[in-house]
A and B are shown apart, each in its own frame.
Chain A
Amino acid sequence: MSLLEIEKLSLSIGRTPILQDIDLAIEEGQVMGLVGESGSGKSMTALAVMKLLPHAARASGRIRFGGIDILSAPEAAMCRLRGDDIGMVFQEPMTALNPVKTIGEQVAEGIRWHTGANRADAEARARAMLERVGLPERQFPLSRYPHQLSGGQRQRVVIAIACALKPKLLIADEPTTALDVVLQAQILDLLRSLVEEDRMSLLLISHDLAVVAEMADRITVLRHGRVMEAGETAAALTQRRHPYTRQLAEASTHVPARAAALRESDGEALLQVEGVTRDYPLPRRSLLSRRQSIRAVDNVTFALQPGQTVALVGRSGCGKSTLARMILALDRPTGGTIRFQGMTLQDKGEEALRPVRRHMQVVFQDPYGSFDPRHRVERLVAEPLHLLDERPDRRRRRALVAEALEQVGLAAADMEKYPHEFSGGQRQRISIARAIITRPKLIVADEPVSALDVSIRAQILDLFADLNRRLGLAYLFITHDLTVARAVADHVMVMHEGRIVEAGPARAVLDQPRTQPARALVAAAPDLERALQRRLARASAG
C-alpha cells in the first residue's frame, strides 16, 4: 500500500471548483513532483493533505495517509500527524518564520509538542537538526532571530522545523522559488540528502519543470485543478505524450526568434557606464567610531549599443538592481559617470533629466504591485507622456495609448478597463505598453518575467524580441534566470559582489564561463535537457 493515496479528490471554495478528481499516490521513499502553472491547484492539494485548507473550502474524495483517512480525521488526530509524520516546507522563507521567536524556540517547539521532551532535550535535538541543515551552532546559535538570517538560511530553518521529527512524508511547496539559482541548488541538495538519509517520501511542488526533472522519480502534471498526466519523470518529460506536458516543456526552453546579433557598431554607444561605484553608509556603531560603508556596486564599466540586448545576471544581492537604479537616474553613484546618448546623468537635476527619462523606460518584476488599482489602463499607460515637451491633448493621448496597447498585443478597447480585469501576463503587457509609449531607445527590465508562468513567460519574451526588431529597442535585462538570459540577450554580463566579473557574447559566457562566480551560476541553473539526460543515463545504467 502506498504511503499517501489521494483518490478522486475534489475541492471547491464557495461555488468555484479548485480541484477535480485528483488521483495521486506516493510510495515510501519516493519523490513525487507536482507540476503546474499558478492557479492549477498544486498548493491546495498539499494543504488538503495537511488538512490546513481555508475555512470556506469543501473537499470530497479520499486522502489516505498510512491508514488514516485524512478528510474525516478529527482535528486532534491531525495535530498529531502534522509536524510528526508529515512535515511541510513553504515557498516564502522571508515570512515563514515567526519574527519574534528565536530559531531555537521555533525548531524545538514542534519537538516538545510531539515528544513531550523537556526544554533541554528538545533544544539539543533542535541544535542537532539545525546542524544537519547546514546551520552549525558556532555561527548560528539557537538564540538567533529570523531577521538576523538571510533568505537561504531561513529556508534551512524551515526545513529543520519540517524534518525535525523525521516525518514519513515531506511536502515542499515551491521551496526554492524565492531564492536565487545558487541557493536553489543548495536547498535542493539539502532536501535530497535529508530525504535519502531519513528515507522520507517527498512531495515536491514546483512550477519549474527543470527542478522537478532533477529531483522527482515520478511527476503529476496539474492544470485547472485536474491531473493532465502522471508517470515516471524521464518518460513523461522526454516522450511528452500529453499535449499539455509538451506545451509546458517547450515553453520552458523557449527561445524567441530574434534579429541577427548586432554587429559591433562603431557609432556612439547608447549607454556608457564608466567606473560606477555606489557606497551605502552603515549605521554608526557608536558616536566615536568612523562611519563604515558597504560597497554595493564596485567600479562597473560597460557600454550598450542602440538596439542591443544585454543581460545582467547574478545572485540576489549582487548589486544588479542598485546598478539599474543608477542607470535610470533614480539614485546617484558615489563615483564614476553614466552617459546616456552622450549626456552625463549623475550631475543633472530633475528638469534636465526629462528628455533622458523619455528615452529610457523601465519594466518591473511584479505586474500586480506596479499599478494603481484605481486607475484605468488609459491613465496608467499614458503616465509617462508628461515627459514629452508638448503635452498631447486628450484625443492624441488616447491615440497614443491605443497604439501602444496594440504594439504589445492588447486591444485598443482595453484602455477602458482596470488592472484587476487582466491576468498576470496581460498586466506585464500593460507595463510594457507604458514603457514604450514615449518611444524610448532603452528599456531597463528588472526581472520582467520572473513572476510569470512558463507559457506566459515565453509569450512575453517573444514580445520583447518582437519590439526589439520592430522598434529598434535596446534592453538591459536584469535576471537571475540564465535560461531567460540565454533566450533574449546578445551580450551577457555576470555580476558578483558589486563587480562585473565576466562579460561577453551570451553563448560564450553561458557555455564556457571562465570565472568562478559565473561557473557557479551556470552549474547551479536548472536545465531541463541536462536533467533528463542524467536521469535517462542513470536509468539505463541501473
Chain B
Amino acid sequence: MTAFVLKRLAVGLLTLLAASLVVFFVLEVLPGDPARIMLGMNASPEALHALRTEMGLDRPVALRYLDWLFGMARGDFGRSYTYSSPVLALVAERLAVSLPLALMALALSTAIAIPVGIYAAARHGRPSDTLAMGLAQVGVAIPNFWFAMLLVYVFAVGLRLLPAGGFSGWGVGLDGLWQGVKALLLPAVSLALPQAAILARVTRSAMLEVLGEDYIRTARAKGLPRRKVLWRHGLRNAMIPVLTILGLQFAFLLAGTIIIENVFYLPGLGRLVFQAISQRDLIVVEGVVMLLVAAIVLINLLVDICYAVVDPRLRSSR
C-alpha cells in the first residue's frame, strides 16, 4: 500500500510538471501584454519598457519559466499584477471560502444522494423509485443559479433566516464559525442539488447492477433479509462508480462555482480567476491553475486509495 501511494505521488509530481509546462506556455502565446493592460492604452513606450523590465517580461521565456517553477517549489507563486500582493496570499484568502463551500456542497450532495439512490434501487420499478428518479431528473435539469435565486427569495428575503449573500470571514470562536457556515449554506445547497441528482442516479444504477449479481443471491440463500443484504453486500460493491463521480464532482466544485459565487457575492476562487483572466493577470491565473491541478492530482490519489480500501481486488494488482 505504501509503495502504491509513493508511486502514485511520483506520477502526480510528473503530472504537475507537465501541467506547469502547458499552463505557462499556453498563456505565454496568448495575445495580451500584461504591462500594457496595467498601464492602459495610452502609456508611453518608455513607461511600458520600464515596467516590462521590472516585471522581468523582457527576459527569455525559458528563464522565466524556470524562475516561476522554482519559485513555486519554494512557495513563491509570484506577485499579482493587479492586486500587487503575493499570489499565494490571494489564493489562500479565496480558498478559505471556496474549500469550505466545496466540502459543504459535497457533504450535502452525498448525504442526500446515496440514501436516495439506495432507496430507489431497493424499490426498483415501484412508484417511489419512479418519483425519486423523476425528482433527480428535475434536479439535473434546473440551472443552479435559478435554484440559488429561488433559495434567496425563500430563505433570505421571505423567511429572513439566512443572509442573501456576501461573506464576512470566519470570525472567532463558535459564533464566528456559525456566521461563516450561515453565509455559505445557501450557496452550498444550490451547488449540491444538481450534484446530488447526478450522484443519486449513479448510486441507483450501480446498486441495481450489484443487486443482480450472484453473490447477492448467495447472501439471500444464507437467510439474510433483503435489507441487510442491500447494506452488507450491495453498498460496498456499488461504491466504485460512486467514488469516481464523487472525485469528479469535488474537482468541479473547487473551481467551477463562479456563477454561484456571483449570485451570492462570495469572494471565492472562481471569481478570482475570472477577474485575473479578464485583466490579463497571468501570474494569478497560472498560480490558481497549478493549484487546481495539484488538487485534482490529490483527489485522484484519494479516490484511488478509496478504491483499494473498498475492493480488495484492486490492492494487489497495482
Contact = CB atoms under 8 A, between A and B. Distances in A.
A95 B213 contact: yes
A161 B218 CA distance: 9
A125 to B, nearest CB: 14
A99 B221 contact: no
Contact of A81 (B223, B225, B232): B223
B217 interface: yes
B311 A100 contact: yes
A83 B221 contact: yes
B59 to A, nearest CB: 40
- Give the most central of B221, B233, B237: most A CB within 10 Å: B221
Contacts of A92: 214
Given A79-B224, A92-B214, A113-B224, A100 B312 contact: yes
Given A82-B220, A99-B312, A90 B225 contact: no
A87 B220 CA distance: 11
Given A82-B220, A147-B312, A147-B313, A98 B225 contact: no
A114 B221 contact: no
A88 interface: yes
B215 interface: yes
Given A101-B233, A147-B313, A79 B223 contact: yes
B221 A98 contact: no
B219 interface: yes
B38 interface: no
A75 B228 CA distance: 13
A281 to B, nearest CB: 15
B236 interface: yes
Contacts of A79: 223-225
Interface in A136-192: 145, 147, 158, 161-162
A100 B310 contact: yes
B222 A161 contact: yes
Contact of B218 (A84, A97, A114, A283): A97
Nearest to B3: A286
A465 interface: no
A260 to B, nearest CB: 47
A168 to B, nearest CB: 14
A482 interface: no
B231 to A, nearest CB: 12
Contacts of B221: 50, 52, 82-83, 87-88, 90, 162
Interface in B44-91: none
A520 interface: no
A98 B125 CA distance: 25
Interface string A92-113: 1001111111000010011001
A110 B222 contact: yes
Contacts of A81: 223
B311 to A, nearest CB: 6
Given A79-B225, A145-B312, A147-B313, A100 B217 contact: no
Nearest to B225: A79
Contacts of A375: none
Interface in B146-203: none
Contacts of A98: 215, 218-219, 233, 237
Contacts of A88: 221
A95 B311 contact: no
A95 B225 contact: no
A109 B222 contact: yes
A113 B222 contact: yes
Nearest to A164: B222
Interface string A57-99: 0000000000000000001100111111001101010011111
Nearest to B219: A98
Interface string B242-263: 0000000000000000000000
Contacts of A113: 222-224, 228
Contacts of A110: 222-224
B218 A90 contact: yes
A444 B310 CA distance: 42
Interface in B290-318: 310-313, 317
Contacts of B228: 113
Contact of A52 (B3, B125, B217, B233): B217
Nearest to B220: A52
A460 B218 CA distance: 35
B189 to A, nearest CB: 33
A286 B2 CA distance: 13
B214 A90 contact: yes
Contact of B313 (A84, A99, A158): A99
A92 B218 CA distance: 11
Nearest to B311: A100
A357 to B, nearest CB: 34
B223 A145 contact: no
Nearest to A286: B3
Contact of B222 (A55, A83, A95, A147): A83
B218 A96 contact: yes
B53 to A, nearest CB: 49
A144 to B, nearest CB: 10
Contacts of A114: 223
B223 A100 contact: no
Contacts of A83: 221-224
B165 to A, nearest CB: 45
Contacts of B125: 55
A5 B208 CA distance: 34
Contacts of B3: 286
Contacts of A84: 223
A13 to B, nearest CB: 15
B214 A95 contact: yes
B126 to A, nearest CB: 10
B208 to A, nearest CB: 13
Contacts of A90: 214, 217-218, 221
Contacts of B237: 98-100
A420 B42 CA distance: 75
Nearest to B234: A98
A90 to B, nearest CB: 6
Given A79-B224, A113-B224, A145 B218 contact: no
A82 B222 contact: yes
Nearest to A105: B232
A140 to B, nearest CB: 15
Contacts of A95: 213-215
A202 to B, nearest CB: 15
A482 B285 CA distance: 71
Contacts of B214: 90, 92, 95-96
A99 B222 contact: no
A88 B218 CA distance: 8
B223 A158 contact: no
A162 B220 CA distance: 11
A348 B317 CA distance: 33
Given A145-B312, A147-B313, A97 B215 contact: yes
A84 B236 CA distance: 26
B218 A158 contact: yes
Interface of B: 3, 125, 213-215, 217-226, 228, 232-233, 236-237, 310-313, 317
26 contacts: A50-B221, A52-B221, A76-B225, A79-B223, A79-B225, A80-B223, A82-B223, A83-B221, A83-B224, A90-B214, A90-B217, A90-B218, A96-B215, A96-B218, A97-B215, A97-B218, A98-B215, A98-B219, A99-B237, A101-B233, A109-B222, A109-B224, A113-B228, A161-B218, A162-B221, A286-B3
Given A83-B224, A95-B215, A286-B3, 9 more contacts: A52-B220, A82-B222, A88-B221, A100-B237, A101-B233, A109-B219, A114-B223, A145-B312, A162-B221
Q: Which 8 A-B pairs have the closest CB atoms?
A: A83-B223, A110-B222, A83-B222, A95-B214, A82-B223, A98-B215, A88-B221, A145-B312
